[in-house]
Amino acid sequence: MSDMQRLMALLESAKLLHPVSDALSIVDFANALHSVMGIPDVPLNEKAVAIKGLIGEHEHLVLVMADGFGMNFVEGLEGDAFIPSHLAAEMRTVFPSTTPIALTSLATGDWPRAHGVIGWFVKLTEIDAISTIISYVRTSDKKPLSELGAGVEDAYSLPSRIGDATREAFHILPEQIAGSVYSNYWAGGVSQSGYDVKSPEQGVRMALEAVRAARSPTFVYLYLPQVDGLAHKLGASDEATLNAAVQVDKLLGTLATELPSNARMVMTADHGHLDALPHSSYSLTASDEIVRLCDGALTGDQRAIYAHVVKGKIDDFKEAVHRRCGSDFLVLTAEEVEAARLLGAGALSVNTRYRMGNALVLSTGNAVLDYRAVVGDDPNPIVSHHGGLTPNEMRIPLVTA
């Protein structure tokens, strides 16, 4: 059985979930949201229309993005908790199921195949090097891309629609990222206010104050990364991570209760989480055969790795991956990725095609392939990951109140 056939079998069995399906997607949600925000000329398919109906028309709209708070955390809460009690629908995120990719789809209303932000690490033609795309830096030395000749429009080639909203906008983010290059891109140039990431209740208070003080229709965006950060550090099932999920649930209950009657709160996530196990965690160095068969460093994430394989060596590359990782990873060509629509329906943009190279190394479950040492990134331990196609990573909630 070829790797493409194995992928189809895994999708058929629902051990992996396809981002483009009959299910609601975060791209459908993005377009519905943009329409509610008053952004003109937003194309709405049948699923986006359904989501728009769930959101409804309200004078004030508060969007809470709870990073990493996938359905695995929702289903771990008590049944009478706020989030499960107000679950309007389940959606699927994009692939790879990682923050910069999902948030860029949320900002643009389009799939990764179009917007080109396709991994945590992305190869940029403008600098001929690897970038940590959401941080807007060259990975190896953390130098800002602007100092290397790559502008914002080079890193994020599809414009964000968020700044085109007709509503007065308030963006509330952790202090560390408020005003960052990516945050400014995402918000469409709208200024952001920072809160102490260790005190998410502060962010909730700021959201309430923004709505209460408003004299015109508003859009308030609140970003909560607390669950995601703890899951990465301690694991998705660690007590501290689960307690953080309970805290977010209670805070959202407070937010919904204290908002005025002409306001709507909507909550979703960018992805879920799945712990990596020691027996299926692999790491690479520059001397590895897998790396030596590539023309340049690997990019993407640890469950979805892009490779620029040396011309004529793709079969050797596949064999090297399978020798090292067994059945834990598949190797697909760029043409197979496009045909399978993993990065979204439609042809890959020129930018996306360059950035992904000619091969994708895809985890079949919880396995990870850590190549951070190859690209010069800090190899800090990570317990729980995302980026793959497993249900734990792909299933996200749509909560309304």
pTM of the model as a whole: 0.97
For domain 3-15+276-383, the CATH class is alpha beta
Q: Measuring CA to CA, which residue among 100, 68, 76 is closest to residue 225?
A: 68
Task: Determine the pLDDT at residue 379.
Answer: 82
Q: Amino acid identity of 86? A: H
In which region does residue 20 sit, left (phi positive, over 0), alpha (psi from -120 to 50) or beta (all else)? beta
Averaged pLDDT for residues 220-242: 98
Other CB atoms within 10 Å distance of the CB of residue 286? 11
pLDDT in tens, 370-386: 999 999 998 888 999 99
Lowest mean pLDDT among 62-66, 210-214, 293-297, 377-381: 377-381
CA distance 82 to 84: 6
Task: Determine the pLDDT at residue 355.
Answer: 97
Q: CATH number of the domain at 24-117+151-275+390-400, please?
A: 3.40.720.10
Concatenated DSSP letters of 94-162: -SS--HHHHHHHHHHSS-HHHH---SSEEEETTTTEEEEGGGTEETTT--BGGGGT--HHHHS-SPPSG
Q: Measuring CA to CA, which residue among 113, 194, 188, 127 is closest to residue 155?
A: 127
pLDDT in tens, 250-263: 999 999 999 999 99
Task: Determine the pLDDT at residue 207.
Answer: 98
How do the domains of the chain map onto residue ranges? 3-15+276-383, 24-117+151-275+390-400
In which region does residue 265 sit, left (phi positive, over 0), alpha (psi from -120 to 50) or beta (all else)? beta
Confidence label for 297 from pLDDT (cuts 50, 70 and 90): confident
Lowest mean pLDDT among 236-250, 293-307, 370-384: 370-384
Coil, helix or strand at residue 238: coil
Task: Determine the pLDDT at residue 299.
Answer: 98
Confidence label for 105 from pLDDT (cuts 50, 70 and 90): very high
Confidence label for 131 from pLDDT (cuts 50, 70 and 90): very high
Share of the chain above pLDDT 70, in %: 100
CB 261 within 8 A of CB 385: no
Peptide bond into 144 cis (omega under 30): no
Residue 396 has pLDDT above 90, yes or no: yes
Averaged pLDDT for residues 29-58: 97
Task: Determine the pLDDT at residue 273.
Answer: 99
